[in-house]
Structures are given as C-alpha cells and as structure tokens.
Amino acid sequence: MLTISLDTSSKEPLYQQIYRHIRHAIESGDVAPREKLPSKRRLASYLKVSLSTVETAYAQLKAEGYIETKMKSGCYAAEIQPLERVRPPLRPKLLREKTGLSPFLYDFRTDRVDPEAFPFSVWAKLTRKVLSEGGKELLETAYPKGLYELRETIAEYLRRFRGMDVLPEQIVIGAGWEYLFTLIIQLLGHRCCYGVENPGYQKVSKILHSLDCPVSYLPVEAEGISLSALERTSVEVLHVTPSHHFPLGIVTTAQRRRELLRWANGGNRYIIEDDYDSEFRYEGRPIPALAEMDHNGRVIYIKTFAKILAPSFRIAYMVLPLTLLEQYEARLLFYACTVSSIEQRVLRDFIGDGYLERHLNRSRNLYKKRRDIFIETIKKSALGSKVEIFGEDAGMHLLLRVQGMTEHELVAKARRRGISLNGLSRYYIDPAEALQNTVIAGYAGWQDQRLRQGVTALIEAWEKGSTEP
Amino acid sequence: MLTISLDTSSKEPLYQQIYRHIRHAIESGDVAPREKLPSKRRLASYLKVSLSTVETAYAQLKAEGYIETKMKSGCYAAEIQPLERVRPPLRPKLLREKTGLSPFLYDFRTDRVDPEAFPFSVWAKLTRKVLSEGGKELLETAYPKGLYELRETIAEYLRRFRGMDVLPEQIVIGAGWEYLFTLIIQLLGHRCCYGVENPGYQKVSKILHSLDCPVSYLPVEAEGISLSALERTSVEVLHVTPSHHFPLGIVTTAQRRRELLRWANGGNRYIIEDDYDSEFRYEGRPIPALAEMDHNGRVIYIKTFAKILAPSFRIAYMVLPLTLLEQYEARLLFYACTVSSIEQRVLRDFIGDGYLERHLNRSRNLYKKRRDIFIETIKKSALGSKVEIFGEDAGMHLLLRVQGMTEHELVAKARRRGISLNGLSRYYIDPAEALQNTVIAGYAGWQDQRLRQGVTALIEAWEKGSTEP
C-alpha cells in the first residue's frame, strides 16, 4: 500500500517528499515488486499538486531504478530486495587525533622547526601577488611534473648552491618526499630489493613495507653505510642520507661516496639520495651531493621543503637521472601533479627573488646559535663532564651520550618532568645494536631563552629525577 | 704535486678556492693517496692568506673525507679512486612538455571545466583572510588525515547534500583522488583482485597496473556494472562510478546498487565509489551515493574537488567505512597529509561559508545551458536526424552516435579541422567491444557563443570534411 502525506510547510520540495515516500514504500516492501503505481495524473490530482511535480518525482525514481515504465501501461515498482545488515553496528575506537601542539612542557623531538624563523609575511605577500596577477592559468591543469618555471628556478638553485647540473625536465615536483618516494618505487618496481640505513629514518622502511617491497637493512659505519654489508646483499636500490646521516649525523666520506657510485655502476642499480637538511651545516660548506658526482645516471636526488620552510609545506622535488627520464615519462606521467598551482608559483618567486637564500642564511645562523646554547648549557652544567655530544656539525639535532645512565633511564627521567626526547635505539631494527645510553635532541624549534630553560630542566631531570612514574 | 693559484678578485671565497684545488688534485691523482699535505701554517704563509682560511679549507676536506689527519703528524690525502664513466654520455629524448593550453582550435575533450565559472576572487579573498589571521598553526605539521575543521565541514556537507552520516574521523584529505586511491591500495593490499568498469576511466587501470595489482575488467550494462560477470571473478575490491558512469553516463539502478552491496557483504569485499561529478545532474536530484545505502562498512567513498572547483586544485577526500578505520590508523597514519595547511583552511571557509553551494548551483545552471546549446545546435543542423545523443542527463560530457560514419572517420574528420574529441572505443580494453560510430564530447569548459561555433564547425567537418591528412 502506498501512503503519501505531504508537508506543505516543510522546506523539502514537494517532488522530493513524493520521491522519498515512494522510494521508502518500495524499499520496505509496502509496495510489492512489479506492483503498478498510480498514474502521474491520478496521483497529482489526489495529492493536489501539479502534474509536473509528480513527473519530477517519477523521473527521479526511474533514474535511480526504483520504478520501471512500460509503454502505454504506466509505472511499476522495480524488484528491489531489502538490504540486510549483516554485521552488528560498528563502534570503532576512534583515535584521539593529535594536533601539531606538543603535550610536553619541553619537546626535544627532531621533527620540529622554528615557525617564527619562517618569513611568513613574505610568503603571504608573494601569495597575494600570485593571486592578484593570476588569471586562467592558475586554474588550468598543471603539467604532471610540475610548473616548468618552478623547475627552472630549482635547476638554477641546484647549479648555484649544490653544483649540480640538471635540466628542468629532470625535476618532478610532488606533495612531500614520501609521495615522491612512492613514485620512485612504482618506477623501479616493488619486486627489487631496497637497501636502507640501519639506524635510519623510520618512514623509509614504513613506506617500503606498505608497498610490499623486500628490504635489506645496512649498518652505518663511521664512513657511511657499510659497503661490505651492501655487497653481501642483493640490494638493487639503495636509500641513503650521505650529506648528513639521520640520526647519527655522519657525513659519508668522499671515498665511500665513490665506492657507492661504483657499486651502483656495477649493475642496474640506483641510489636514492635523500638530501633532507644539507643547508644546515655549521662548519664549512654544504657537503657535495652524490648526485653531483654521478656521471652515469645512477642517483635519484630527493629534497623536501618541509625542513627548510616549515613542516606544513607539502612540497618536495626529485631529480631523475637522465637514464630514468624516458621510462618515467612513458609510465608515470599520467599522475597529475600533487601540488597546487598557486603554491608552485609562490615558491618559484620565493626562490627566484632570493628569499629562500636569505631565509636559509638566517635560519642557519639561528640554528647554529641554538646548537651553541645547547652545548654550552650542557658543558657548564653539573653533568657537563659526563655528557659526550656528537653529530653536532650539521642539521637540527644532536646526540647526547651520558655516562652512568641507561637510555631507558635518560628517556624516562626526562618524561617524568614533562620533557620529550627519543632514545637512539628506536632508529635501529634491533635496538640492542644501538650505542647504549644515547638520546637524540632536536634544538631547531626553540626560542633561545626557552632552550636554555629546557636544557637546564633536562639536566636536572637526569641528575635528580626518578624513573618511577 | 699540489699547485694552488688563488684568484683574489674572484667572488669565490679564498678558503673555497683552496678547498677546490686540493680536492681536484686528490681526485685527479696529482696528489697521490696517503701523500702528506703541507701543514696549514706553511700553506697559509706560502699563499699569503690567514691561517684560519686554510683551516676552514682543511676542515671541509676532512669532513668530506678527502684528507685524513694524524695526531702530531699532519694531514694526508685519503685513498680516493677515480670515478669512471661507464656509460656513454646520455642524450635523452626530452618530451616536449604540454602546457594546459590546448593546441586545438576547438577542444571537446572531457577533462576541461570552465575556469571563468570558478569564483576566483572569492577564493583569493578567503586566502588573504587565512594568511592574515594565520599564525603559528599554519606552519605546524597538520594531522595526517587532514585539518579537523575541514573534515568537520565536509562531514556536514555530506550530511546535507548527500544524506551521508559520517564522522570527521572517517574522512582523509589528500592531494587528488589518484593519491588517495594509492593509499586505498596500500590499505587493502596489492595482492587482491581489483574489478574495474569496462569501459571506464583509464587512470584507474593505470594506477592499478603501476602498483602491480591483479585487475578484472567488468562489462557495463544498462543497469550498471554487470553483476553476473562480477560473480564469475575473484574480485575483492570493486571500483565503480555508480552515480554517473564514466564515460557512458549510465546511472546504476537501485536494484543493481543493492546487488552490489550484497555482493560486498558476501565476503571480505569492498567497493570504491568514485563520486566524481554527482553535483552536475540536470534532471532531478543527485543520485544517492552507494555509501549512503551501505550499512555494513563495505564502501569507500572518494570525491575529488578538481571537477567542482578547477583542475589545478589538488584536493580530494575519501570517506573510510568504520570497518577500515582502525586498520588505516594503525598502518598508514605515518603518511603526512599531502595538502597544504593554507589551502585546507581556505577550502574549509569556502564550503563552510556557503560559497561552494552557490558555486555549484551556478555551475550546474551554466553547464545545463551549455548542454542544451550543444544538443540544440546538433538537432537543428543538417546532420540533426542522423545523430543520436545519450548520456546527457548529468556530468560535463555527452555521447554522440552518428549514422553512416565510423568512429575513426568521426575523429579524423574533426581533427582535420582542428577539432579534438575522443572516440568511445579508447575507454574499452578491447576497442572492438565499443558501440561503433560513437564519440564523447565535453561541453563544460566553453563559453556559450564559442560552443555554438565549435559544434557548428564539428558538424561541418563531419558533413563535408575529409579524413585524409
């Protein structure tokens, strides 16, 4: 039986009310499958609505397959079986979502940069300029590898500051290094074996596992990743951080770089060079990139802007060697560029107009000063003679090795006082392989005065604190 | 032999010139491995530079592993083997990169929308507002699934306009549906078999192939994807466009929707519902989403903003069913959100302040009018009686089937006159399965007057044109 009661005071259009009632009647079985429905004219006159209102409702029901019309015979309910609920209602445990704000009093984790250091007003000004100049082309599909003018600007930047000679055509812009890394895996295949540093940046392994790639973990020595270990594996693609190893802070030696390149030349092998923080080198010049030394097209260079601008900027690029360019274009060019046209233009101006260089010089001085404050505060403290500092020549973090305490004690005592920092062992596949009693502390995301307080609080926690919760 | 000649008029710092000369001497073998280098003091006095200049150069060489220092004995060249060039210099064929501008006089391809229709000035205004209000939190790392307030706004939008009841926690923001699709594949695994529509959107298959997933192609019938074909496969994950099939324009019937949901309930199966253009329905209301009818957590809903804003916006979202939420959070939450914080805030305001709704209403009317112009111009033309139009109830394209000509002739004759449009067969795995003599024409990205001219030119090309180049 079809019953329709219209509510003329409702905001819901009349045709939609009719549609909804009939749909419900058919879904619930009140109108049986193949049962004839009243003609549009009869229903309109019965409901005291216009014929076109009923026609619109019937048209919608027909478009969705709830009714069928037969020539000269009218409308019939379609055969709709009820939808069962096969599982009990779901009550998932929802994760409490963490915001960017740290719950800790002092947070020495390494993924923080100083938002105050970023020249936000310049970025805002350039964005306004792009928006006010930008016409149609801001809305057109961008070329999949990214805005050509941005890639030209990056090629010029690499020439000037990294001594790399690359064509804009080799550069691919993407929304973060993680995304670009998934593209590289699609390019090189997920069946070949990937080598990663141990210890190393955990996300690299997570991405490889998520894409089901075989992974070999390679120990890191004083010279860089272990070549003898590498040669005992069947690794075909190696991910490395040669300019500044994460987290140990080691610079791969010139000799080891050559050995790695020779290893790659010895087969159809590739090296993914993750140059995440080469700009922040406090003693001397940035270490030359492996990609600069590579004459045989074996190195894919990846660079994120998250570390040099701010983590919220989802822009990174990779430089493909010429050996892989045709393959990339043939197989992966169908992926649309993942970065908005507006931000690509703003970044082009930010680099091209010299703001990036100035920002980097400023940040380098700022972070160097903070590093010095960190070290000085430690050295002058009561624990000064018991703390060995290393990995401090570059980057935004350093390592602290403390005599007479275990890593667990170091982390737990700090946490008891609201201070967050990570032990070195978490970056190892087998935590037992790590140097004992060593923690990692990021110092970039701090104001000077607060950093002094934080380090002092940390020392106090270690000196006097308890590990009991 | 080490020879160093300094250029005091050069912009290159002196320490860097010294560094460069020594590095070159070691790399070229002019200084032999393990050869002793002059002491810093001697070199400084010989070159007439300060001691600290030489110290800086030596420190850099040491950091990069070109020299080694021995206690009280001085500096020695490290053992550096020369880098061979194992392959001939590479000269890749560089693809000429296409810009967004079409090389055609008239371009009826389907991936174009009208940039003039987008309220760019509103977007610019909201961006300025976000930039002027935004402080630190614009630069902090965003939550991996995206800005919570944007996801709340989208949940509210889905409730109002799609009748979907979802939690913000179920929503994941990403830089385009392609990226989100790769996340889904990582979530569900690349070993299970994926079903795709045939004909269908080619990128879906390309992504699946690129990630090495088994794919089954399923024919599309008048009611939607073929259920009997589906049941003969081992498909576990089905990608469909039920509200408006691409490219055929078919709406999956209510009965077929129920059958698909029942199929998914019958095993650990999932349906990926790609709701790419449900807003642009010209007769009646939008077709309800499969996700709305799904009570058992079997549907992943994907929606791009590229079609409703402009192609340059790389923002899309997916709604995960509650069944998959914990798994997603446990396994994929390490991926950082790929959309910039600034654009997420702008989009939140664009939707929340009602601009999206207004824009959609305006675009719908605009595109409906263009569709009507297209159809009317065809009908009134000399070929009017020979052209059958279908798939015109929704979306931004329609299909034209022309009596007495092959698809090849239709496409070739148009191209001869500088008109681009695609034949239907290119969307089929086996082109022979396609309806013959059918082409697809997009009409959304046109001004009215120009569209009239374009359609008139197309008819003329078909009537009188030659297929010879």
- pLDDT given for residue B107 in this prediction: 86
Collect all residues of chain B within an 8 Å Cβ-Cβ radius of residue A342: 127, 312, 343
Residue B89 has pLDDT above 60, yes or no: no
Instruction: Compare A271 and B77 and report the one with higher pLDDT.
Output: A271
Residue B88 has pLDDT above 60, yes or no: no
Query: CA of B99: which chain A residue's CA is closest?
Result: A143
Collect all residues of chain B within an 8 Å Cβ-Cβ radius of residue A99: 140, 143, 148
- pLDDT given for residue A94 in this prediction: 60
Collect all residues of chain B within an 8 Å Cβ-Cβ radius of residue A140: 99-101, 115, 310-312
Q: Identify the top-confidence range among A6-10, A154-158, A460-464, B308-312.
A: A154-158
Tell me whether residues B80 and A255 touch, CB distance under 8 A: yes
Select the residue from A14, A66, A81, A86 to test the B interface by mutation, using most B Cβ atoms within 10 A.
A86
Residue A90 has pLDDT above 60, yes or no: no
- pLDDT given for residue B205 in this prediction: 96
Query: CA of A111: which chain B residue's CA is closest?
Result: B141
Tell me whether residues A296 and B176 touch, CB distance under 8 A: no
Collect all residues of chain B within an 8 Å Cβ-Cβ radius of residue A323: 87, 90
Q: Tell me what the pLDDT averaged over chain A comes to.
A: 89
How do beta strands A438-442 and B387-390 pair?
A: unpaired
Query: What ipTM was estimated for this complex?
Result: 0.87
Instruction: Compare B183 and B78 and report the one with higher pLDDT.
Output: B183
- pLDDT given for residue B20 in this prediction: 86
Closest CA to B286 of B317, B243, B255, B252: B243
Phi then psi for residue A452, to 5 deg, are: -55, -45
Under the banding of pLDDT at 50, 70 and 90, the label for residue A452 is very high
**Cα dihedral angle (B325, B274, B311, B309), rounded to 10 degrees?**
-80
Tell me whether residues A312 and B127 touch, CB distance under 8 A: no
Tell me whether residues A175 and B175 touch, CB distance under 8 A: yes
Instruction: Compare A59 and B273 and report the one with higher pLDDT.
Output: B273
How far is Cα of residue B263 from the mean position of the Cα atoms in its chain?
30
- CB-nearest to B335 from A80, A85, A178 is A178
- CB-nearest to B339 from A118, A306, A314 is A314
Residue B397 has pLDDT above 60, yes or no: yes
- pLDDT given for residue B82 in this prediction: 65
B192-245 pLDDT tens trace: 999 999 999 999 999 999 999 999 999 999 999 999 999 999 999 999 999 999
Distance from CA of A149 to the nearest CA of B (A): 12
Collect all residues of chain B within an 8 Å Cβ-Cβ radius of residue A94: 167, 169, 325
In DSSP terms, A299 is beta-bridged to A271
Q: What HEC string does chain A produce?
A: CCCCCCCCCCCCCHHHHHHHHHHHHHHHCCCCCCCECCCHHHHHHHHCCCHHHHHHHHHHHHHCCCEEEECCCEEEECCCCCCCCCCCCCCCCCCCCCCCCCCCCEECCCCCCCHHHCCHHHHHHHHHHHHHHCCHHHCCCCCCCCCHHHHHHHHHHHHHHHCCCCCHHHEEEECCHHHHHHHHHHHHCCCCCEEEEECCCHHHHHHHHHCCCCEEEEEEECCEECHHHHHCCCCCEEEECCCCCCCCCCCCCHHHHHHHHHHHHCCCCEEEEECCCCCCECCCCCCCCHHHHCCCCCEEEEEECCCCCCCCCCCEEEECCHHHHHHHHHHHCCCCCCCCHHHHHHHHHHHHCCHHHHHHHHHHHHHHHHHHHHHHHHHHCCCHHHEEEECCCECCEEEEEECCCCHHHHHHHHHHCCEECEEHHHHCCCHHHCCCCEEEEECCCCCHHHHHHHHHHHHHHHHHCCCCC
- pLDDT given for residue B468 in this prediction: 67
Q: How far apart are CA A310 and CA A120, in angstroms?
A: 10
- pLDDT given for residue A135 in this prediction: 73
Query: CA of B65: which chain A residue's CA is closest?
Result: A253
Collect all residues of chain B within an 8 Å Cβ-Cβ radius of residue A343: 340, 342-343
User: Average pLDDT for residues A201-224, to the nearest whole number?
Assistant: 95
What are the structure tokens assigned to B319, written together?
A: 């709604």
Tell me whether residues B287 and A64 touch, CB distance under 8 A: yes
Query: CA of B206: which chain A residue's CA is closest?
Result: A334
Q: How far apart are CA A277 and CA B78, in angstroms?
A: 26
In DSSP terms, A221 is beta-bridged to A224
A394-451 pLDDT tens trace: 888 999 999 999 999 999 999 999 999 999 999 999 888 877 899 999 998 888 899 9
Query: CA of B143: which chain A residue's CA is closest?
Result: A99
CB contact set of B349 (below 8 Å; sequence gap of 6+): B126, B129, B130, B355
Angle at A358 between CA A357 and CA A359, to 5 degrees: 90
Query: CA of A332: which chain B residue's CA is closest?
Result: B210
User: Average pLDDT for residues A180-209, to the nearest whole number?
Assistant: 96
- CB-nearest to A63 from B189, B284, B331 is B284
- CB-nearest to B87 from A255, A296, A333 is A296
- pLDDT given for residue B86 in this prediction: 56
* Contact between residue A407 and residue A432 where contact means Cβ atoms under 8 Å apart: no
User: Average pLDDT for residues B414-439, to the nearest whole number?
Assistant: 90
Tell me whether residues A87 and B206 touch, CB distance under 8 A: no
Q: How far apart are CA A79 and CA A61, in angstroms?
A: 13
Burial B254-271 (b: 16+ CB within 10 A, else e): bbbbbbbbbbbbeeebbb
Q: How many CA atoms lie within 13 A of A417 on its CB side?
A: 23
- pLDDT given for residue B7 in this prediction: 86
Tell me whether residues A343 and B339 touch, CB distance under 8 A: no
How far is Cα of residue A210 from the mean position of the Cα atoms in its chain?
14
Lowest mean pLDDT among A85-99, A149-163, A179-193, B236-250: A85-99
Distance from CA of A390 to the nearest CA of B (A): 14
Residue A220 has pLDDT above 60, yes or no: yes
Phi then psi for residue A416, to 5 deg, are: -60, -25
Collect all residues of chain B within an 8 Å Cβ-Cβ radius of residue A210: 186, 331-332
Tell me whether residues A92 and B19 touch, CB distance under 8 A: no
Lowest mean pLDDT among A279-283, A324-328, B255-259: A279-283
Collect all residues of chain A within an 8 Å Cβ-Cβ radius of residue B180: none
Collect all residues of chain B within an 8 Å Cβ-Cβ radius of residue A136: 115-116
In DSSP terms, B439 is beta-bridged to B400, B423
- pLDDT given for residue B307 in this prediction: 86
Under the banding of pLDDT at 50, 70 and 90, the label for residue A7 is confident
Tell me whether residues A86 and B127 touch, CB distance under 8 A: no
Under the banding of pLDDT at 50, 70 and 90, the label for residue A93 is low
A15-25 pLDDT tens trace: 888 988 888 88
Q: Tell me what the pLDDT averaged over chain B comes to.
A: 89
Lowest mean pLDDT among A136-140, A150-154, B311-315, B337-341: A136-140
CB contact set of A214 (below 8 Å; sequence gap of 6+): A191, A192, A193, A194
What are the structure tokens assigned to A91, written together?
A: 């009550």
**pTM of the predicted model, to two decimals?**
0.88
Tell me whether residues A78 and B255 touch, CB distance under 8 A: yes
For chains A and B, count residue pairs whose Cβ atoms are closer than 8 Å: 291
User: Average pLDDT for residues A38-44, to the nearest whole number?
Assistant: 89
Instruction: Compare A83 and A72 and report the one with higher pLDDT.
Output: A72
- pLDDT given for residue B354 in this prediction: 94
- pLDDT given for residue A218 in this prediction: 97
Residue A129 has pLDDT above 70, yes or no: yes
Select the residue from B140, B271, B287 to test the A interface by mutation, using most A Cβ atoms within 10 A.
B140
Share of chain A above pLDDT 90, in %: 56
Instruction: Compare B196 and B116 and report the one with higher pLDDT.
Output: B196
Angle between helices A355-380 and A341-352 (to 10 degrees): 80
The three-class DSSP label of residue B311 is coil
Collect all residues of chain B within an 8 Å Cβ-Cβ radius of residue A63: 251, 283-284, 287, 393
Under the banding of pLDDT at 50, 70 and 90, the label for residue A153 is very high
Query: CA of A15: which chain B residue's CA is closest?
Result: B284
Distance from CA of A207 to the nearest CA of B (A): 8
Distance from CA of B379 to the nearest CA of A (A): 23
Query: CA of A136: which chain B residue's CA is closest?
Result: B115
Residue B132 has pLDDT above 60, yes or no: yes
